[in-house]
Amino acid sequence: MNYPNGHKRTPPPTGGKKNKKPDYSNRGMTLEEDINQTNQAYLRSGKAVIHKKPTPVQIVNVDFPKRSAAVIKEAYFKQPSTTDYNGVYNGRYIDFEAKETKNKTSFPLSNVHEHQIQHMKQVIEHGGICFIILRFSQQEETYLFPAEKLFSYWERQNSGGRKSIPYKDIQQGGHFIPLKFHIRVDYLSVLDEVYL
């Protein structure tokens, strides 16, 4: 195959390591992109103000080859992040995590961290609405799963129980969010039914 400029395409080498470690760096980005688009639509329509939280990072080393092209060479996470999104809807504080899995039969609890569970509990104690949006990418299904229900699975795991939430439990205890065209993941319509 030749490129339009006449140069030949050189195929990548096929030799080398067969068991390459999988790359998880962009896992969950499709769900995040859909939620970011949804939040922008909510903001434009004046329905809610909900944003993705920035990850706190300490920059240690920056290379300045020229003023307009600074490159961060070294940085560290300052502290563990809490959840992905927060904001205000209908006079209520909203706080939630977004997770995507390729697993067909369950959601692995290893995708959630202890400090996130503690944060969710504190939000609920102060009257906020807290939940997790789960996407099963193989089934192309998205669910809103209340944090209060997540806690019981977390405690069971810590007591030596199952380390995942079965898909059928998420179907039964969660709330299906249909994908739409203009507002991809309209989770506020589910909040209206469940919380408000």
Q: Which residues are annotated as a binding site for Mg(2+)?
A: 82, 84, 97, 116
The two tokens of residue 100 are: 């995507």
- Under DSSP, the state recorded for 111 is G
Backbone angles phi, psi at 133, to 5 degrees: -100, 120
What is d(CA 25, CA 63) in angstroms, rounded to the nearest whole number?
24
Q: Give the CA count within 13 Å in the CB-facing half-sphere of 53.
A: 16
Dist CA 157 CA 168 (whole Å): 17
* Strands of the chain, DSSP E: 48-52, 57-63, 71-77, 85-89, 92-101, 106-108, 129-136, 141-146, 164-166, 175-176
Q: Tell me the C-alpha distance between 111 and 157, whole Å.
A: 13
Task: Quote the tokens at residue 31.
Answer: 């769900």
Cα 59 versus chain centre, distance: 24
Interatomic CA distance for residues 134 and 143, integer angstroms: 5
